[in-house]
Copies of this chain bind each other. A is one copy, B any other.
Amino acid sequence: MISDRKLEHLLICKYYDVEFKNKTTGFEDIELIHQALPEINKNDIDLSTSVFGKKMESPLFITAITGGHPVAKDINKNLAIAAEEMNIALGVGSQRAAIEHPELADTYTVVRENAPDCLLVGNIGAPQLNLADKAVEILDADILAIHLNPLQESIQPEGDLDARGFLDSISKICDTVDIPVMAKETGCGISSETAKDLVNAGIDYIDIEGAGGTSWAAVETYRADDRYLGETFWDWGIPTAISTVEVTSSVDVPVISSGGIRNGLEAAKAIALGADAVGMALPFLKESVSVEDIIEYINKFNESLRIAMFLVGANNIEELKNSNLIIKGETKQWLEDRGFNTTKYSRR
């Protein structure tokens, strides 16, 4: 049953080592350039940003984590209270469970109840796009996220393996649902080619969810009888820093950089690479036992983002986007090979 799998995922992610092993996000190859004379007032730095007309206090999404299990309800409630209080965005996990098992609906609706004003993101998998309307209906979300996760579908025993016609379905959903639609990966990243396809299909927002953080091949390795497949694909995917450049350089919609982002310094790098906001899942799962812990974590994230902005002299997110940075090492090599100019970021 989906519900049991959901609990298993939560427990594995919380207690096991599920992050990439031999691949990183690539943010260690990105260097913002210290400005000893920022000439700004750190206390005046404005972290806020607007998403489809809704203002957020800081450019942070708690990306899709859960729903569909009593334990998930508690987690979602805590996340919702904190997100509302801090005025950041919050996504729920795949709503498939709620649609197929209506008795589980409250494990999702608990979010809107506790977060009446925050930017709320619904979630449905690309293989279940027929459930999209229902998903929107149930949740009262501001945006619907369609998650793409061909790797997880491939490794988990119960996977949906027919990925034909997804673009068409996405295109239809974008036409029919009356809230903006976002596409998100789940830890393997979005390539420039896929980004263009998505935007052509009508997608309004891309959440890249690149490689370097939670690895779903890793998660499924712990559930599998045989570790071979999970081990083989543990480190598969486009590193987050690279995917951020691939996508922001190729399409014109707003972009969330995510997958392995763990503090405001990495967020600042992602934004200076062109992202509009960042997202995190695993760290929030780990703090999710209490509202206080979540809020403290968001405060620390915000403060570290603010410090990074202070040190490059950026008063706000727009100015941060124009900060100089260096791209080094394999991240540089990958991007240059794929035709992206990496030196343009270093003197602008």
Interface centre among A37, A126, A337 (most CB of B within 10 A): A37
What's the nearest-Cβ distance from chain B to residue A263, in Å?
5
- Bound state CA distance, A154 and B38, in angstroms? 12
Q: Do residues A38 and B163 form an inter-chain contact, with CB atoms below 8 A?
A: yes
- Bound state CA distance, A36 and B165, in angstroms? 13
Q: Do residues B338 and A334 form an inter-chain contact, with CB atoms below 8 A?
A: no
Q: Do residues B35 and A194 form an inter-chain contact, with CB atoms below 8 A?
A: yes
A273 at the A/B interface (Cβ < 8 Å)? Answer: no
- Bound state CA distance, A161 and B40, in angstroms? 9
Residues of B within 8 A of A28 (CB): 22
A134 at the A/B interface (Cβ < 8 Å)? Answer: no
Q: Do residues B191 and A228 form an inter-chain contact, with CB atoms below 8 A?
A: no
Q: Do residues A338 and B346 form an inter-chain contact, with CB atoms below 8 A?
A: yes
A213 at the A/B interface (Cβ < 8 Å)? Answer: no
Interface-facing stretch out of A6-14, A96-104, A172-180, A182-190: A182-190
A328 at the A/B interface (Cβ < 8 Å)? Answer: yes
A166 at the A/B interface (Cβ < 8 Å)? Answer: yes
Q: Do residues B164 and A39 form an inter-chain contact, with CB atoms below 8 A?
A: yes
Residues of B within 8 A of A304 (CB): 228-229, 232-233
- Bound state CA distance, A228 and B306, in angstroms? 14
A141 at the A/B interface (Cβ < 8 Å)? Answer: no
Q: Do residues A232 and B326 form an inter-chain contact, with CB atoms below 8 A?
A: no
A289 at the A/B interface (Cβ < 8 Å)? Answer: no
Given contacts A41-B163, A229-B303, A229-B304, contact A330 B333 (CB under 8 A): no
A33 at the A/B interface (Cβ < 8 Å)? Answer: yes
A279 at the A/B interface (Cβ < 8 Å)? Answer: no
Q: Do residues A163 and B346 form an inter-chain contact, with CB atoms below 8 A?
A: no
A300 at the A/B interface (Cβ < 8 Å)? Answer: yes
What's the nearest-Cβ distance from chain B to residue A238, in Å?
5
From the candidates B34, B38, B193, B337, name the one contacting A327 in the complex (CB within 8 A): B337
- Bound state CA distance, A260 and B174, in angstroms? 46
Residues of B within 8 A of A346 (CB): 337-339
From the candidates B167, B238, B310, B326, name the one contacting A161 in the complex (CB within 8 A): B310
What's the nearest-Cβ distance from chain B to residue A199, in Å?
12
| Complex interface bits, A295-308 against B, C-beta within 8 A gives 1, otherwise 0 | 00000100110011
| Complex interface bits, A97-118 against B, C-beta within 8 A gives 1, otherwise 0 | 0000000000000000000000
Q: Do residues A194 and B151 form an inter-chain contact, with CB atoms below 8 A?
A: no
What's the nearest-Cβ distance from chain B to residue A231, in Å?
8
Starting from the known contacts A154-B310, A233-B308, 7 additional A-B residue pairs (CB-CB under 8 Å) come to: A33-B191, A34-B188, A36-B194, A40-B164, A42-B153, A151-B311, A154-B307
A-B contacts, 9 of them at CB < 8 A, read: A35-B191, A35-B194, A36-B190, A37-B126, A41-B163, A161-B310, A326-B337, A326-B338, A338-B346
Instruction: Give the interface of A toward B (CB within 8 A).
Output: 22, 28, 31, 33-43, 126, 148-151, 153-155, 161-167, 183, 185, 188-191, 193-194, 197-198, 211, 226, 228-229, 232-233, 236-238, 263-265, 300, 303-304, 307-308, 310-311, 326-330, 332-334, 337-339, 342-343, 346-347
